Amino acid sequence: MAGRGDPPEGTPEGLPGGGEDEYGAVVFDESFVRAARLQEYSARERTGPDARAVRTLPPPVLHARPGNGGAWVVMGLALLLALSLATAIHIGLRRAQSVPAAAPRAEPLRMTVIPLAPPGPVPGGEPADLYHRSPAAHHRIAAAGITLPAIRRTSGFSESEVRTALVVAKEYLVMSSLNPAVLTGDTVRPVRVLLDPAQLDAFDRDVGFRAGGARPSGTGWLLRFDPAKVALADPAVRVRGSLRYTESGADTLEIASSHTFTYALRPAAPPGASRAPSATPGPADPGRTDPASLFVARRELRLRFDHEDILRHRTELVASHLQAGPQSCSGESTSALRPLLAGERAAPGAPAGTDPYANGTSPAAGLCGALAPAAQPTPSPQPAPPAD
Residue 79 lies in a domain: no
- How far apart, in Å, are the Cα atoms of 160 and each of 151, 171, 314? 9, 16, 15
**pLDDT-based confidence at residue 99 (cuts at 50, 70, 90):** very low
- For residue 253, being part of any structural domain is answered with yes
pLDDT digits (tens, 9 = 90+) for 155-212: 999 999 999 999 999 999 999 999 999 998 899 999 999 999 999 999 999 887 554 4
pLDDT tens-digit readout, 373-388: 888 898 876 655 555 5
In-domain check, residue 121: yes
Structural domains counted in the chain = 1
pLDDT 10s digits, 234-273: 989 999 999 999 998 879 999 999 999 999 999 998 765 5
Mean pLDDT value of segment 294-313: 97
- What one-character DSSP code corresponds to residue 125? B
Whether residue 126 is predicted with pLDDT greater than 60 in this model: the reply is yes
Assess if residue 24 is contained within a domain: no
The model scores a pTM over 0.75:
no
Strands (DSSP E) contained in the chain are 38-40, 54-56, 110-117, 140-141, 230-249, 252-267, 293-305, 316-325, 369-370
Q: What domain range is 204 assigned to?
A: 110-347+367-374
Q: Does the structure show a pLDDT above 90 at 315?
A: yes
95 falls within a domain = no
Please report whether residue 37 resides in a domain: no
pLDDT given at position 28? 56
Residue 1 in any domain: the answer is: no
DSSP 8-class letter at 197? G
The strand pair at 110-117 and 316-325 is best described as parallel
pLDDT bin (cut points 50, 70, 90) of residue 367 is confident
Please give the residue that has the higher pLDDT: either 43 or 278. 43
Determine, yes or no, domain membership for 235: yes
